């Protein structure tokens, strides 16, 4: 197995690497002492339950929300989005979304269309940015949900979620933000942003292990659980508990992964999301400036780095994106992702379907030196 130190890792939009100090050790330690949280009264069970509670409290602190019980642990952002969408929408409902959503939003919505839910997809512009006014204008009397990604995982475009969420709230419509690309890397304050549902992965900007994620559910949102079963609470009752987080957390949780996530969250709280965001903008700015100087390079998304997340998609004129990605790995040891990025509608919006793009995505541990090596490698490939 190759050592990651032999490579330049620029695929943080898929999974962040490296992890903060202590995350791997927390996972290794937890798997050696993992009791079943909430299921027993012995010391190991209580220790695992404490790991979950600590991580939940740190999530609440990171996102500025007082009640940590509203943060439901999931296996990833996909699980959280499915719970939000399928747990809320019913036949006759209408949902408004955008043309740059990940398949974790679009596939559940397409399935629900066959069950009587109507879907309006508001097109984004050529940079992958959706017009808030267009989202708001699509609201109908039967609209139950507005679902929008915070930042495109393809174009990197940050969406006007605050305007969209506040408009939905004023009209009595629920709102859902897919924060897979922004949680941990972009300031989000749930005490001031009236979003009803927010989903994120634990293994991307939150810098935790794979197999972790969460769904924030504001009080008053009537979600039906996707999974029902053992919760460790009210075991005398064969009906699902009606309180959070137990009502949406059935089955043995990934306490081992969440122990690692908890350490990552502590690192983020100490480091400060504002500082991480500032570094991210600086790195993306350097990427944009460097790519502009490479003949034959086509960059997609907003030109202003402050209007982007960490993902930057590009193509080389006349070159297959998959082959460009392979050459970057083979010739320069640079790891990134090429293709459609599980978001075909985003590529249709950008005009890059079906071939896709090459996506580079720095993270909080990326250095300017690594960005420089990446730009030099792209320049060599573009020159033929």
Peptide bond into 316 cis (omega under 30): no
Which token pair is 11?
């695929």
4-19+272-382 matches 23-271 in fold = no
Class of domain 4-19+272-382: alpha beta
Query: How much of the chain, in percent, has pLDDT values that exceed 70?
Result: 99
Mean pLDDT of 94-118: 98
Cα–Cα distance between 258 and 135 in angstroms, integer? 35
Q: Which tokens in the block code for residue 378?
A: 């792209």
The domain spans of the chain are 4-19+272-382, 23-271
Q: Does the pLDDT of residue 1 top 60, yes or no?
A: no
Confidence (pLDDT) at 34: 84
pLDDT for the residue 3: 60
Tell me which residue of 21, 10, 6, 13 sits closest to 268, measured CA to CA: 21
Tokens 């100490």 appear where? Answer: 270
Nearest-angstrom CA–CA distance, 213 and 46: 22
Per-residue model confidence as pLDDT tens digits over 222-236: 999 999 998 888 898
CATH of domain 23-271: 3.40.640.10
What whole-number distance in Å separates Cα of residue 110 and Cα of residue 114?
7
Decide if pLDDT at 245 tops 50. yes
Residue 10 to residues 287, 328, 373, 374: CA-CA distances in angstroms? 12, 11, 11, 9
pLDDT, mean of residues 196-218: 98
Residue tagged 């009537």 (tokens): 222
Q: What distance lies between CA 331 and its chain's CA centroid?
A: 30
38: left (phi over 0), alpha (psi -120 to 50) or beta: left
Q: What pTM, to 2 d.p., does this model score?
A: 0.96
- Our measurement of the distance from residue 381's CA atom to the centroid of its chain's CA atoms, rounded to an integer in Å, reads 31
CA dist., res. 235 & res. 384, Å (int) = 66
Contact present, 197 and 174 (Cβ < 8 Å): yes
Residues 6+ apart with CB under 8 A from 267: 20, 21, 22, 23, 207
Buried b (16+ CB within 10 A) or exposed e, 30-61: beeebbbbbbeeeeebebbbebbebbbebbbe
Write the DSSP string, 171-201: TT-EEEEE-TTTTTTS---TTTS--SEEEEE
Encode pLDDT of 162-178 as tens digits.
Answer: 999 999 999 999 999 99
Q: Report percent pLDDT > 90 for the chain.
A: 92
Q: Can you give the pLDDT at residue 41?
A: 85
Please count the CA atoms within 13 angstroms of the CA of 10 that sit on its side-chain side.
Answer: 31
Q: Is 340 helix (H, G, I), strand (E, B) or coil?
A: coil
Model confidence over 108-134: pLDDT tens digits? Answer: 999 999 999 999 999 999 999 999 999
What pLDDT band is residue 4 in, cutting at 50, 70 and 90? Answer: low
Residue 78 near residue 204, CB atoms below 8 Å:
no
DSSP-derived 3-state class of residue 357: strand
How confident is the prediction for the chain on average, in pLDDT? 96
Return the sign of the alpha-carbon dihedral for residues 342, 27, 189, 278: negative
Stretch 303-329: mean pLDDT: 97
Phi, psi angle pair for 258, to nearest 5°:
-70, -30
């Amino acid at each position: 197995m190759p050592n990651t130190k032999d490579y330049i890792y620029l695929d943080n939009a898929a999974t962040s690497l490296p992890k903060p100090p202590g995350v791997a050790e927390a996972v290794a330690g937890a798997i050696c002492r993992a009791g079943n949280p909430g299921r027993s009264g012995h010391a190991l069970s209580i220790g695992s339950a404490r790991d979950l509670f600590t991580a939940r409290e740190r999530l609440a602190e990171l996102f500025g929300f007082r009640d940590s019980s509203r943060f439901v642990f999931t296996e990833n952002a996909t699980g959280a989005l499915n719970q939000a969408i399928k747990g809320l929408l019913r036949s006759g409902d209408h949902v408004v979304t955008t043309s740059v959503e990940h398949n974790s939003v679009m596939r559940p919505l397409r399935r629900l269309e066959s069950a009587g839910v109507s879907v309006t997809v508001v097109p984004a512009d050529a940079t992958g940015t959706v017009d808030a006014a267009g989202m708001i204008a699509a609201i109908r009397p039967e609209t139950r949900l507005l679902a929008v990604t915070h930042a495109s995982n393809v174009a990197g475009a940050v969406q006007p979620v605050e305007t969209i969420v506040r408009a939905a709230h004023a009209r009595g419509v629920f709102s859902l933000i897919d924060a897979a690309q922004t949680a941990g890397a972009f300031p989000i304050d749930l005490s001031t942003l009236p979003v009803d549902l927010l989903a994120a992965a634990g293994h991307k900007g939150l810098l935790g292990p794979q197999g972790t994620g969460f769904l924030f559910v504001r009080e008053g949102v009537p979600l039906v659980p996707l999974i029902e079963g053992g919760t460790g609470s009210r075991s005398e009752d064969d009906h699902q508990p009606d309180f959070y987080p137990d009502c949406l957390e059935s089955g043995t949780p990934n306490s081992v992964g969440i122990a690692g996530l908890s350490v990552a969250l502590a690192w983020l709280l100490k480091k400060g999301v504002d500082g991480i965001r500032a570094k991210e903008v600086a790195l993306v700015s350097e990427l944009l400036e460097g790519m502009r100087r490479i003949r034959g390079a086509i960059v997609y998304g907003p030109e202003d780095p402050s209007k982007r997340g960490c993902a930057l998609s590009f193509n080389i004129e006349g070159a297959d994106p998959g082959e460009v990605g392979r050459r970057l790995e083979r010739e320069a040891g640079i790891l990134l992702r090429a293709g459609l990025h599980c978001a075909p509608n985003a590529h249709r919006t950008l005009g890059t379907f079906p071939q896709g793009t090459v996506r580079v995505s720095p993270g909080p541990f990326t250095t300017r030196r690594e960005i420089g090596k990446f730009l030099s490698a792209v320049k060599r490939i573009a020159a033929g």
